[in-house]
Amino acid sequence: MQIITDVKEMREIVEGIKQSGQSIGFVPTMGYLHFGHLALITAARKQNNMVAASIFVNPAQFGPEEDFERYPRDVEADSIKAKSAGVDLLFCPKIEDIYGAGYATYVETEGLSEQLCGKSRPGHFRGVCTVVLKLFNIVQPKRAYFGQKDAQQFIILKRMTLDLNLDIEMICLPIVREADGLAMSSRNIYLTEQERRKATVLNCSLNEAKQLYDAGERNAQALLEVVEKKLLKVKEGRLDYAELVDLTHLLPITKIDKPALLALAMYFGQTRLIDNVILQ
């Protein structure tokens, strides 16, 4: 596995790969890799000649009061995990190479970015789209891999690739969970032991709604009431949102007559966790 920190060097390596006719599968990450990331790498390994992954904690997607400075970082451990999972190229660019002096260009997907997480994290998805487009331009993948835990992010990025005519196949893989059902996230490390136990309510509430849906319930409000009732019982948590939206525009729906996203976000202490289920 090669570890590349220089943008120009990465471009040169990619050019050689492209000229040889090989495909690149790409997994963009902010590091502190867990089994969710490794599942994406494994899928990329099976479907491409070469696998590239990036580690870049993107300052543009953090708000002024968010956790950019303390976001967990361990590039050495990440390198070992990435290599064992089958990464060929690990791209770890420097902030000044991604956002140089006088940087002033950003990418936005209007409408989608203002829904769900966008309401409490204004500007977040502008930062996500900007850095992912830059990484796409550098790595030039045939396929890019993301996890369903960040469903809104995937829907937004897929819209971006369509709107900007990027020839990249966007692939979303199921959520990888801990044994107790908590969705794997780099931010789980922030949780106290008690918060960690309580956080399992996220998946439990989604499961209850899914069971009701499978039993024939199609009224969105009825499903949301099941979720909110369970979440609001947790005194250690603070609900940010629970919404049932369509998969195209991420707008709230009243009745489920086609695949829909039941998504939620909740704070445990200072840690904000997200989870979701697709009802179809």
| 141-196 pLDDT, tens digit each | 999 999 999 999 999 999 999 999 999 999 999 999 999 999 999 999 999 999 99
Cα angle 71, 75, 78 (rounded to 5 degrees) comes to: 100
- The 10 Å CB-count burial string (b at 16+, else e) for 99-132 is beeeeeeebbbeebbebbbbeebebbbbbbbbbb
Give bridge partners of residue 276 from the DSSP assignment: 263
Q: How far is Cα 275 from Cα 139, in angstroms, rounded to an integer?
A: 29
pLDDT in tens, 11-57: 999 999 999 999 999 999 999 999 999 999 999 999 999 999 999 99
Rounded to 10 deg, the angle between the 220-231 and 201-214 helix axes is 150
Beta-carbon contacts of residue 253 (< 8 Å; ≥ 6 apart): 220, 244, 245, 246, 260
When the pLDDT of each residue in the chain is averaged and rounded to a whole number, the result is 97
Answer whether 67's CB lies under 8 Å from 31's CB.
Answer: no
| pLDDT given for residue 236 in this prediction | 87
Q: How far is Cα 252 from Cα 195, in angstroms, rounded to an integer?
A: 29
Active site residues: 37
Per 3-state DSSP, the chain is made up of helix, strand and coil in percentages (nearest 5) of: 45, 20, 35
Binning pLDDT at 50, 70 and 90, where does residue 277 land? very high
